[in-house]
């Protein structure tokens, strides 16, 4: 049946009610929609789950012509298209993984004005064939989804996105709407420049997700901490455990299955059929855990993800916020737990230092990692701290992150810090935390004996404290940059500029008592 032009002439409210079945626009949607309706360029910054799609879907259905949606991921496009078709919207996608016949059909529909929305990958769009085809069509708008991919400074740079700067010349007068969940000021200005839309309306929604409960814990017993979090928070929903390596996803999924969970591993190296299977099961709504690398990401739109757990420190606050943003899309309270360790932090720094990336890019990555490290060790409200990374001020502490619930106390650790730093220095800056703690505690281990460490003056100077306590001190000295990894074998050394004033006694070192940890561990051992 030829339903064209079903929506043209309808108001955005009509479309919102009739097509999508929603009562009112949310947050900035209304402003975004009306700017596009007026033919203006817009940049929309909203957190994951904030409702970005409607900002272009509604005006595309109200304006004459087909709305072009540029999207980096095929799986994401397919999802959106399937969802729209169910609502009766004439949507289609065009990308390299379709067979020839399907591509032909889409192209015919396009030339006969039979489409409301066309999802397309940037590389496909920019072929001369497709451009010629599109030049003969009337475009209602051009939406650039995941627009942060255009920024070389961002955490998810895609070179194909660079070419999108030409859209303005190629399709003059067609309003463009760029959308992203990455909101740091640098990425924001990069998008405006790289897409050649300096005059665009910038609409920035609050990134505050009130239903997300932020928690970070030093890693003590990884699997126990994971199981504890899952049993408290997952309920009948889903959970995602982000792992640092492909191999880890497999071992974590296996451990969870052994504990009776339905659990799958997911990473980019899986055979396509297996990936598809995991995604299908995930979407089916059954209670399950996915142990995944960050490849499990865009397009994951399950509303009842109740917990997102990270086993290692993420590379940036932006990436982290996007990953935890996959929790609680249904608005119900959801839990996030970040497990981190001194070694993990030192290793992340070390690899960045060694990376071959161009100097400027490397500095940007280092800056993001350092912000992420500060986030883990902060004694203040975590929600406030992460929103501050996006330039957003939350005037009151959130009241429900771990630091708000159990404010960590701090203590004067100057002497302890000096003991650790001296031990590192005297043992030759080549041992990891485990051996350093053995020396501090005066324990005769095989390595202590072999390297004759028991003859050193530092042997046993830390007998009065537990291993866990020393681990906490070492971790925080790493986080502050007084200790770093000296090579890829995990040995720790002094970072002179920060370590020297501590050793000299020029500064007071105040560290956080891991109160939240003590609390969580006490609670889990009694329950
Ligand atoms: P984003 O792309 O920003 O991550 P989506 O566009 O996928 O977010 O929207 C997230 C969820 O919110 C979807 O399930 C969507 O149907 C719902 N949603 C969006 N706008 C509204 C609205 N105005 N009223 C009710 N639900 C909405
Ligand atoms: Zn808080």
In tens, the pLDDT along 2-50 reads 344 455 568 999 999 999 999 999 889 999 999 999 999 999 999 877 8
Token output for 476: 């925080």
Q: Taking 90 as the threshold, does the pLDDT of residue 365 lie above it?
A: no
Token couple for 86: 């169910």
The 10 Å Cβ neighbour count of residue 10 is 17
Alpha-carbon distance of 212 to 152, in angstroms, equals 29
From the CA of 55, how far away is ligand 1's center (Å)? Answer: 10
Q: What contacts 471, CB < 8 A, 6 or more positions away?
A: 218, 342, 433, 437
The number of the ligand 1 atom at minimal distance from the alpha carbon of 50 is: 3
The answer on pLDDT for 519 being more than 80 is no
Say if residues 121 and 74 touch (Cβ distance below 8 Å): yes
**Nearest listed ligand to the Cα of residue 86:** 1
| The pLDDT value given to residue 286 | 96
**CB neighbourhood size of 135 (10 A):** 10
pLDDT digits (tens, 9 = 90+) for 464-490: 999 999 999 999 999 999 999 988 788
Ligand 1 atom nearest to CA at 47: 3
Q: For ligand 1, atom 16, name the residue with the nearest CA.
A: 51
Long-range contacts of 208-211 (CB under 8 A, 24+ apart): 208/383, 208/387, 208/392, 208/394, 209/47, 209/49, 209/325, 209/328, 210/398, 211/328, 211/331, 211/332, 211/333, 211/334
CA neighbours within 13 Å on the CB side: how many for 46? 23
Whole-angstrom Cα Rg for the chain: 26
Q: Report, as an integer, the average pLDDT of 318-332.
A: 91
Q: Do the beta carbons of residue 60 and residue 175 sit within 8 Å?
A: no
Instruction: For the chain, give the longest Cα–Cα distance.
Output: 89
Ligand nearest to the CA of 404: 2
Dihedral sign, CA of 461, 466, 468, 469? Answer: negative
CB 391 within 8 A of CB 377: no
Alpha carbon distance 74, 95 (integer Å): 7
pLDDT for 515 equals 62
What is the per-residue pLDDT for 326? 92
Q: Which residue among 12, 22, 31, 51 is best mutated to probe the pocket of ligand 1, counting the most ligand atoms within 8 A of its Cβ?
A: 51
Question: Of the bound ligands, which one is closest to the alpha carbon of residue 182?
Answer: 1
Q: Ligand 1: distance of its center to the CA of 50 in Å? A: 6
Distance 210 CA to ligand 2 centre (A): 10
159 CA to centre of ligand 2 in angstroms = 37
Q: Which of 359, 362, 305, 294 is nearest to 329 (CA)?
A: 305
Helix, strand, or coil (residue 105): helix
Q: How far is the CA of 54 from the centre of ligand 1 (A)?
A: 7
pLDDT score of 156? 78
Q: Looking at 182-186, 212-216, 257-261, 405-409, which range is the least confident one?
A: 182-186
Within 8 A by CB and 6+ apart from 159, the residues are: none
Closest CA to 125 of 66, 173, 84: 66
Distances (CA, A) of 224 to 21, 82, 481, 525: 43, 39, 29, 10
pTM reported for the whole predicted model = 0.79
| Kind of pairing between the strands at 483-485 and 492-494 | antiparallel
* Minimal-distance CA residue to ligand 1 atom 15: 51
Res 517: pLDDT: 52
Classify each residue of 29-43 as buried b or exposed e, where b means 16 or more C-beta atoms within 10 Å of its C-beta: bbbbbebbbeebbbb
Q: Is the pLDDT of residue 523 over 60?
A: no
The per-residue pLDDT for range 270-317, each reduced to its tens digit, is: 999 999 899 999 999 999 999 999 988 766 779 999 999 999 999 999
Give the closest residue (by CA) to ligand 1 atom 24.
Answer: 22
The neighbouring-strand residues paired with 410 are 512
Extract the tokens encoding 256.
Answer: 């969870």
Distances (CA, A) of 129 to 107, 109, 125, 143, 194: 11, 16, 9, 20, 24
Asked whether the beta carbons of 294 and 242 are under 8 A apart, the reply is yes
Q: Looking at 149-158, 239-248, 281-290, 517-526, which range is the least confident one?
A: 517-526
Atom of ligand 1 nearest to the CA of 145: 2
pLDDT bucket at 524, cuts 50 / 70 / 90: very low
* Ligand 1 pocket, mutate which of 46, 53, 300, 302 (most atoms under 8 A from CB): 53
Please report the pLDDT score of residue 337 as a whole number.
Answer: 98
pLDDT at position 235 is 96
Measured in Å, residue 414 CA sits from the centre of ligand 2 at 28
The pLDDT tens digits of the residues spanning 169-181 come to 999 999 999 999 8
How large is the ipTM? 0.97
**Mean of per-residue pLDDT scores for the chain:** 91
**Ligand 1 pocket by C-beta < 6 Å: which residues?**
22, 25-26, 29, 46, 48-54, 301, 329
């Amino acid at each position: 049946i030829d339903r064209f032009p079903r929506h043209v002439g309808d108001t955005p409210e009509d479309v919102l009610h009739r097509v999508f079945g929603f009562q009112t626009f949310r947050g900035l949607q209304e402003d975004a929609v009306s700017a596009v309706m007026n033919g203006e360029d817009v940049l929309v910054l909203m957190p994951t789950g904030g409702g970005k799609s409607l900002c272009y879907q509604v005006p595309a259905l109200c304006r004459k012509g087909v709305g072009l949606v540029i999207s980096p991921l095929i799986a994401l496009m397919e999802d959106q298209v399937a969802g729209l078709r169910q609502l009766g919207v004439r949507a289609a996608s065009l990308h390299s993984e379709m067979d020839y016949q399907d591509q032909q059909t889409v192209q015919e529909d396009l030339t006969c004005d039979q489409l409301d929305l066309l999802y397309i990958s940037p590389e496909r769009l920019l072929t001369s064939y497709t451009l010629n085809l599109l030049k003969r069509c009337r475009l209602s708008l051009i939406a650039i989804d995941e627009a942060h991919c255009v920024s070389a400074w961002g955490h998810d740079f895609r070179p194909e996105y660079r070419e999108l700067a030409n859209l303005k010349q190629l399709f003059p007068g067609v309003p463009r709407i760029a959308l992203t969940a990455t909101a740091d000021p640098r990425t924001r200005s990069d998008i405006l420049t790289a897409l050649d839309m300096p005059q665009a309306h910038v609409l920035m929604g609050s990134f505050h997700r009130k239903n997300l409960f932020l928690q970070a814990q030093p890693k003590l017993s990884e699997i126990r901490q994971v199981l504890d979090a899952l049993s408290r928070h997952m309920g009948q929903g889903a959970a995602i455990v982000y792992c640092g390596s492909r191999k880890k996803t497999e071992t974590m999924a296996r451990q969870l299955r052994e504990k009776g969970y339905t659990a799958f591993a997911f990473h980019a190296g899986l055979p396509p059929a297996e990936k598809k299977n995991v995604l299908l099961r995930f979407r089916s709504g059954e209670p399950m855990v996915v142990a995944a690398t960050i490849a499990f990401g865009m397009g994951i739109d399950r509303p009842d993800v109740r917990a997102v757990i990270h086993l290692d420190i993420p590379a940036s606050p932006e990436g982290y916020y996007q990953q935890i943003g996959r929790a609680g899309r249904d608005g119900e309270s959801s839990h996030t737990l970040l497990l981190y360790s001194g070694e993990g932090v030192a290793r992340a720094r070390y690899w960045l230092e060694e990376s071959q990336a161009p100097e400027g890019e490397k500095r940007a990555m280092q800056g993001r990692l350092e912000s992420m490290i500060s986030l883990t060790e902060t004694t203040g409200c975590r929600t406030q701290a992460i929103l501050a990374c996006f330039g957003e001020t939350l005037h009151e502490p959130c009241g429900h992150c771990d630091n708000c619930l159990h404010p960590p106390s701090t203590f004067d650790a100057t002497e302890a810090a000096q003991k650790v730093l001296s031990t590192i220095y005297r043992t030759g800056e080549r041992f990891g935390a485990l051996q350093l703690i053995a020396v501090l505690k005066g324990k005769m281990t095989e390595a202590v004996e072999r390297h004759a460490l028991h003859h050193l003056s530092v042997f046993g100077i830390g007998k009065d404290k537990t291993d866990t306590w020393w681990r906490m001190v070492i971790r925080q000295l790493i986080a502050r940059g007084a200790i770093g990894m000296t090579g890829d074998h995990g040995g720790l050394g002094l970072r002179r500029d920060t370590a020297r004033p501590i050793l000299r006694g020029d500064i007071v070192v105040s560290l956080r008592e891991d109160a939240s940890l003590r609390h969580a561990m006490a609670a889990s051992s009694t329950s």
